[in-house]
């Protein structure tokens, strides 16, 4: 998560990461990250399932992106 980004999600090839701007709706962030992964990086499209990198590895999103802690709800 970062402040003052030019877009919702930005691919940083130097750090091999995607920076996500604070303050956006989760659905908008997911759309942007999915587009970076599939269009820019060539990952297979995944609708409804976990986001995957072009290498097949699962892409984990920062916990602070979600308004509530999902683990706390599960317990």
What is the average per-residue pLDDT within 12-41?
86
pLDDT at 42 over 50: yes
**CA atoms of 39 and 75, how far apart (whole Å):** 37
pTM of the model: 0.72
pLDDT, the chain, mean: 80
Mean pLDDT, residues 8-27: 84
What band does 71 get if pLDDT is binned at 50, 70 and 90?
very low
Tokens of 24: 């956006």
**pLDDT for the residue 15:** 74
Alpha helices per DSSP H over the chain? 26-35, 70-74
Asked if residue 74 has pLDDT above 70, the reply is: no
Q: Are 18 and 10 in contact (CB under 8 A)?
A: yes
Where does residue 29 rank: exposed (0-12), middle (13-18), buried (19+ CB within 10 A)?
buried
């Amino acid at each position: 998560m970062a402040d003052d980004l030019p877009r919702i999600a930005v691919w940083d090839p130097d750090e091999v990461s995607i920076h996500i701007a604070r303050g956006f709706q989760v659905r908008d962030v997911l759309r942007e990250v999915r587009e970076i992964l599939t269009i820019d990086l060539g990952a297979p499209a995944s609708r409804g399932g976990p986001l995957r990198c072009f290498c097949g590895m699962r892409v984990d999103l920062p916990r602070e992106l979600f308004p509530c802690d999902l683990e706390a709800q599960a317990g």
